[in-house]
């Protein structure tokens, strides 16, 4: 009684994750007892946790179990914000792939293997990727091939190769194909020159051909008694690692990645805006802030001065990549850059539409920043102000929003090629629309600009 399964962990018969009284638990079923105990006593768990590759857990009593077939219950350290591969930048997916291979390499050295290489088993914690599925490691059966090889290729290698050699926006395919991009589709989409790359040829193109050649064949007849040595497995994993490291993408030239160095704020305006944001946030002491339209995260870092975690969302893959590279380069622990198109946000999806959560279901955030965003939504995307207010009120408990008037050069730019059909886009119209969902606590003009910064808690009825 009193427990709720975490959707997304029900496919594995060896255990599942659930929450009870707000605490997260993972039950290990009796069928997995020996393998779990072997993993814990092998030293592999300690090694992976010590080096920050696996989320640590605490073992608790069976009284915390959810069902009768539990043999153990663990309380894993909770990840502050769950994100999905289709929300990651190129570098994030690449780092998650490298983490998976690093773990597999270390596991093989100790006679273990990853029985699952799902990208959904990786999360970002304190700026770094970490494996969250403690049950995905099991003793290696000598002679057996790596069961998660295809899954690795479809969830990591192929998407990264498409992003690197075709177009970085191919990552959006991961939103349709939650189990990974099918090899045959990826093989058709990749540029012809990838047939000349040994790793793409082997792990993607020939892999896709083998899939269709042996479709419907039993393993026993096709494999003809072949076995795989541990050395062979290690060679394969090392080669995949080299292939992943060999892929690159340069985040430049897109509209937003250049925005912070090419906008119309004066130094005084930027300083004034920053001070107002930090002051408002310090007053409300939020745990988590969502910065919507964060670009490369300049103001996310200001928000971080007052919050434990800032999820730094942007629609532009180059901006998110730059933001993530800065997080890695400077070892920042409280910024999580993610890709999000606010006009088509990550939906609830997967089995029964509940396996992966929508952005809204992962909230509400303690505070939401919407800086230099409203004109893009209202004018760039024809979204009525009232609808924008209604959605933002569902995303966070407090909103810090910048109003950019029509006289601003950035708005004028949006109206260059179209008639102005937005008579209601005024400071008064904005305040009226937002007052229906928020109570405006403070409003101040940003120094040396015509823009205004508002701080407004969501009205109680907004959450319903």
Name the site residues for other proteins (rule: CB under 8 A).
11-14, 115-116, 145-151, 153, 202-203, 206-207, 210-215, 217-219, 222-223, 226, 228, 231-233, 235-236, 239
**Structure tokens belonging to residue 366:** 């303690």
Q: Which of 368, 363, 329, 344 is nearest to 86 (CA)?
A: 344
Least distance between other proteins and beta carbon 118 (Å): 8
Give the nearest distance from C-beta 355 to other proteins in angstroms.
15
- Dist. CA 222–CA 208, nearest whole Å: 16
Output the smallest distance, CB 157 to other proteins, in A.
12
Q: How far is the CB of 54 from other proteins (least distance, A)?
A: 19
CA-closest candidate to residue 438, choices 462, 403, 411: 462
How far apart are CB 13 and other proteins at their closest, in Å?
Answer: 6
DSSP code of residue 347: P
Least Å distance, CB 231 to other proteins, is 7
Our CB check for other proteins shows the closer of 148 and 393 to be: 148
Residue number, 125 or 161, with CB nearest to other proteins? 161
Tell the smallest beta-carbon distance from residue 40 to other proteins (Å): 20
Quick one: 229 or 435, whose CB is closer to other proteins? 229
Rounded least distance, CB 182 to other proteins, Å: 11
Nearer to other proteins, 240 or 294 (CB): 240
Residue closer to other proteins (CB basis): 104 or 346: 104
Q: Show Cβ contacts of residue 134 under 8 Å, excluding neighbours closer than 6 positions.
A: 26, 45, 54, 55, 57, 74, 76
Return the closest-CA partner of residue 387 out of 437, 313, 326.
437
- Measured in residues, the chain has a length of 464
Buried b (16+ CB within 10 A) or exposed e, 7-27: bbbeebebbbbbebeeebbbb
Most distant pair of Cα atoms in the chain: their distance: 76
* CB-nearer residue toward other proteins: 29 or 89: 29
Paired residues of 142 in beta bridges: none
Residue 119 in contact with residue 158, Cβ under 8 Å? Answer: no
Smallest distance, other proteins to C-beta of residue 150, A: 4
Query: Which CB, 14 or 89, lies closer to other proteins?
Result: 14
Pick the closest to residue 87 from 317, 322, 310, 297 (CA basis).
Answer: 317
Q: Which is nearer to other proteins, 51 or 142 (CB)?
A: 142
C-beta closer to other proteins: residue 220 or 461: 220
Closest C-alpha among 432, 444, 438 to residue 456: 438
User: Which residue from 135, 114, 133 is spatially nearest to 123, judged by alpha carbons?
Assistant: 133
Cα dist. 408→221, 382, 412, 445 in Å?
70, 18, 6, 13
Alpha carbons 140 and 147: distance in angstroms, whole number: 11
């Amino acid at each position: 009684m009193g427990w709720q399964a975490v959707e997304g962990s029900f496919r594995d018969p060896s255990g599942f994750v659930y929450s009870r009284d707000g605490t997260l638990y993972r039950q290990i079923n009796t069928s997995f007892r020996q393998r779990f105990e072997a993993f814990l006593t092998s030293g592999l768990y300690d090694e992976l946790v010590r080096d920050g590759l696996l989320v640590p857990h605490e073992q608790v009593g069976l009284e915390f179990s959810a069902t009768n077939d539990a043999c153990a219950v663990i309380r894993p350290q909770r990840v502050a914000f769950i994100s999905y591969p289709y929300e990651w930048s190129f570098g994030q997916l690449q780092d998650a792939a490298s983490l998976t291979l690093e773990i597999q390499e270390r596991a093989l050295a100790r006679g273990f293997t990853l029985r699952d290489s799902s990208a959904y088993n990786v999360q970002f914690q304190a700026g770094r990727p970490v494996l969250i599925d403690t049950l995905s490691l099991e003793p290696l059966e000598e002679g057996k091939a790596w069961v998660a090889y295809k899954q690795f290729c479809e969830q990591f290698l192929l998407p990264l190769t498409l992003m690197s050699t075709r177009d970085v926006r191919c990552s959006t395919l991961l939103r349709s194909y939650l189990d990974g991009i099918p090899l045959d589709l990826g093989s058709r989409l990749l540029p012809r020159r990838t047939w000349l790359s040994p790793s793409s040829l082997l792990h993607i193109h020939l892999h896709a051909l083998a899939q269709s050649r042996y479709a419907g064949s039993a393993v026993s007849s096709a494999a003809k008694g072949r076995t795989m040595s541990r050395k062979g497995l290690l060679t394969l994993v090392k080669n995949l690692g080299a292939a992943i490291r060999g892929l690159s993408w340069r985040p430049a030239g897109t509209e937003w990645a250049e925005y912070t160095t090419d906008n119309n704020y004066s130094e005084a305006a930027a300083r004034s805006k920053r001070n107002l944001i930090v002051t408002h946030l310090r007053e409300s002491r939020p745990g988590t802030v969502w910065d919507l339209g964060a670009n490369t995260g300049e103001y996310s870092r200001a928000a971080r001065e007052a919050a434990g975690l800032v999820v730094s969302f942007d629609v532009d893959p180059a901006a998110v990549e730059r933001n993530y590279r800065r997080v890695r380069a400077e070892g920042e622990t409280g910024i999580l850059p993610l890709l999000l198109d606010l006009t088509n946000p990550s939906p609830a999806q997967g089995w029964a539409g509940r396996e992966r959560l929508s952005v809204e279901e992962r909230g509400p955030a303690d505070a939401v920043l919407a800086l230099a965003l409203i004109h893009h939504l209202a004018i760039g995307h024809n979204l009525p102000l009232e609808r924008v207010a209604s959605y933002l009120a569902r995303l966070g408990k407090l909103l810090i929003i910048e109003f950019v008037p029509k006289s601003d050069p950035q708005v004028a730019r949006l109206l260059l090629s179209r008639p102005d059909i937005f008579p209601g886009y005024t400071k008064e119209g904005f305040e009226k629309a937002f007052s229906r969902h928020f109570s405006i606590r403070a409003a101040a003009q940003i120094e040396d600009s015509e823009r205004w910064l508002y701080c407004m808690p969501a009205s109680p009825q907004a959450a319903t």
